[in-house]
Amino acid sequence: MPDQPLRVLSLIPPMTQLNTPYPSTAYLTGFLRSREVDAAQEDLALELVLQLFSVEGLQALHDCMLALPARNHSRHLQDFAANFQRYLTTITATISFLQGHDSTLAHRIVSRTFLPEGSRFASLDAYANEEGHDPLAWAFGSLGVQDRARHLATLYLNDLADVVRDAVDERFEFVRYGESLAQSQPTFEPLAQALAAPPNLIDDILQQLTVAAVDQHQPDMVLISVPFPGAVYAAFRIAQRIKTHNAAIITVLGGGYVNTELRELSEPRVFDYFDYVTLDDGELPVLALLEHLQGKRSQQELVRTFIRSARTQSVEFINHNEPDIPFAEVGTPTWDGLPLDRYLSLLDMLNPMHRLWSDGRWNKLTVAHGCYWKKCSFCDVSLDYISRYEAASATLLADRIETIITETGQTGFHFVDEAAPPKSLKALAQELQHRNLSISWWGNIRFEKSFTPELCQLLADSGCIAISGGLEVASDRLLKLMKKGVSVAQVARVTKAFTDAGILVHAYLMYGFPTQTVQDTVDALEYVRQLFAEGCIQSGFFHRFTCTVHSPVGMHPEQYGVQLVHPPQTSFARNDISFIDPTGVDHDALGIALNKALYNYMHGIGLEQDVRSWFTGHVPQTTVPGDFIARALSNTDLN
């Protein structure tokens, strides 16, 4: 295609999120247009859900159910069959309500007589009391009609997702579709077998959407960005359909999953679906690829790109030594082409902070590239998305914000940094106030001492409504081993400063870190309980520590007292890696208790309870620390 302008289409594959577009295509499209490339984008994740959960989709789902032997009908399928006509009657209006188009429907939804109710609604029983009072009154009161209805409508969709799993594809989830086929899979075989299987209802819909997008935009190149393992299967299905529809279209795979898991790719079969696989930030590799296809650079001048050799049919990695595009020059992301009025605001957890991830249409923006700390031993600090730190000026960031508001008409922003630098946030807050620019924003930070009460108040005045940050294992010994650079006392003071400024706080929590003992785990949960009780944090999430090959633990396990267990062969994905911890603690059993306790804490339940009671037999001969958090808040010298 020498000297010909090339058309590029970027696709978001299922599944990512439903309330707002995943930002990778917005960034790439904005950058390519700034370089005068004809670029468009489509969100096939959203389109798949909207088509599946429609009258026609439910009818097809019902047909799939009828094709199964009656003896294989689960409780979910039985409920769906019994209420099928009600589902057909309510699905269009409910989707419209979740899109924000029909607010008056909320009154019918909260009556509890409009929507059919399956097993997901049983969770409401946890909030009912023996007097039979309204089980949601504590969360929404008597006037929170819109939010109450959105929560009930979310349960309704979750019921239907259960039906999809039982009738069509057991791998289906709203944000993790077929995740096990791709996550740290050493070989391509499980994914290859899934792709060779006859298409199911979901595959059929996705293939139809793929052909429609290609026919509409007539691209020369399709970029498919895969942020998570739960989007990989669908990405390959999309590429598979493109190749059978029009083999001349060039397909390119990239995104967060590729950057972390496919860095040692040697599986040639991947290139039956994708012509190129690129690593790290996509701007420069895609630009180099376009120039190569136009005859402006040779194949050996590609950047961070895997290809299949035409001569040997083996996988080759080409990385021409060339400086990356500076963060300040990547342009402003654009959402042009994405149906912003069709995204679904879901309310799956009754917690004011936790809801932000699924509720509301947020403009996603990055304050700085990479992480200014880049020392945490559990993090992929050796990879570009962490290691290459670059900041942009507050003026440039505010310009981007104003451009995005003009385009989208919406003033909510989610800053998706690994950890937004306090210095940059301070400068941005001052610039926003200088311009009298009213926005609402939230993002991820480190709980470091730079966030003084004065700075927290400034951020709140600039529009900050919430922040999230890593407390990880609430143990000073383990925080030091992690090289986290914070202490439990410091986290308490910083989070309290945010809360006092009216900013919601979410803590990322971890268990199972190397050498973590049962006593460490009990101590950590007790400190978390105290942080909730003292009003320092309002939300949190416990995840099991995973050792990755790109982290300090994975690269230097001997420094952390563990032994890695390497898979015998790796030709496809390699990221998470098993290890042997000499402590021998059953972290899986402890994790069940940790998550149960945290779920209750986020709903204001169990805060006066001895934390050891959550573990039921797993924590013999352990002690509980005293009121450490209260002392930390009152004594500024406590470390």
- Each residue's pLDDT tens digit, 13-35: 999 889 999 999 999 999 999 99
Quote the CA–CA distance of 372 and 369 in Å, as a whole number.
9
Residue 127 has pLDDT above 80, yes or no: no
Same-domain check for residues 221 and 310: yes
CA distance 45 to 54: 15
- Flag whether 245 is in a domain: yes
Burial of 509-545, coded b for 16+ CB within 10 Å and e otherwise, reads: bbbbbbebebbbbbbbbbbbbbbbebebbbbbbbeeb
Average pLDDT over residues 362-383: 93
Total structural domains within the chain: 3
Same domain, 314 and 366: no
pLDDT higher than threshold 50 for residue 155: yes
CB 333 within 8 A of CB 41: no
Q: Which residues of 393-406 are buried (b: 16+ CB within 10 A; e: fewer)?
A: ebebbbebbeebbe
- The structure's pTM equals 0.93
The band of 130, judged by pLDDT with boundaries at 50, 70 and 90, is very low
Residue 477 falls inside a structural domain: yes
What is the rounded distance in angstroms from the CA atom of residue 481 to the CA atom of residue 513? 10
539-544 sheet: strands from edge to edge: 363-365, 412-415, 440-445, 464-472, 504-511, 539-544
Range of the domain at 185: 7-45+179-329
Read off the pLDDT of residues 590-615 as tens digits, 9 standing for 90 and up. 999 999 999 999 989 999 999 999 98
pLDDT at 568: 73
Indicate which CATH number applies to the domain containing 424: 3.30.750.200
Are 212 and 192 part of one and the same domain? yes
Co-location of 495 and 600 in the same domain: yes
d(CA 481, CA 28): 38
Average pLDDT over residues 365-379: 93
One domain for residues 385 and 509: yes
What's 65-108 look like in SS3? HHCCCHHHCCHHHHHHHHCHHHHHHHHHHHHHHHCCCCHHHHHH
pLDDT tens profile 198-224: 999 999 999 999 999 999 999 999 999
Q: Is residue 423 part of a domain?
A: yes
In this predicted model, which residue has the larger pLDDT, 495 or 138?
495
Of 203, 265, 210, 268, give the one whose Cα is nearest residue 239. Answer: 210
Same domain, yes or no: 535 and 422? yes
217: how many CB neighbours lie within 10 A of its CB?
A: 19
Length of the chain: 639
Same structural domain for residues 96 and 211?
no
Following DSSP, what letter does each residue of 133-148 receive, concatenated?
--TTHHHHTTT-HHHH
DSSP 480-504: HHHT----HHHHHHHHHHHHHTT-E
Is residue 561 in some structural domain?
Answer: no
Q: Residue 139: is its pLDDT beyond 90?
A: no
Q: Which of 251, 255, 200, 205 is nearest to 225 (CA)?
A: 255
pLDDT band per the 50, 70, 90 thresholds, residue 132: low
CB 574 within 8 A of CB 184: yes
Q: Tell me which of 301, 329, 357 is where a domain ends.
A: 329
Same domain, yes or no: 365 and 484: yes
277 and 366 assigned to the same domain:
no
Q: Please check whether residue 337 lies inside any domain of the structure.
A: no
Q: Is the pLDDT of residue 637 over 70?
A: no
CATH number, domain containing residue 259 = 3.40.50.280
Indicate whether 401 and 300 sit together in one domain. Answer: no
Q: What's residue 131's pLDDT?
A: 46
Q: Is there a domain that residue 366 lies in? A: yes
Q: Last residue of a domain, which of 329, 364, 390?
A: 329
Three-state SS for 498-562 is HHHCCCEEEEEEEECCCCCCHHHHHHHHHHHHHHHHCCCCCEEEEEECCCECCCHHHHCHHHHCC
- Do 56 and 41 fall into the same domain? no
User: Domain boundary at 114, 134, 167, which?
Assistant: 167
Which tokens sit at 401? 């914000």
Q: Region 430-449: what's the mean pLDDT? A: 96
Residues 62, 33 within the same domain: no
pLDDT confidence of 233, banded at 50, 70, 90?
very high
Q: Distances from the Cα of 455 to the Cαs of 53, 254, 430, in angstroms?
A: 45, 37, 11
- List, for residues 267-307, the tens digit of each pLDDT value: 999 999 999 999 999 999 999 999 999 999 999 999 999 99
Q: At what angle do helices 189-196 and 232-245 cross, to 10 degrees?
A: 50
Does 541 fall in a domain? yes
pLDDT tens for each residue of 468-480: 999 998 889 999 9
**Which residue's structure tokens are 């979910």?**
76
Q: What is the DSSP letter of 576?
A: B
Mean pLDDT of 80-94: 97
Q: Is residue 483 included in any domain, yes or no?
A: yes
Which two tokens mark 364?
């996603």
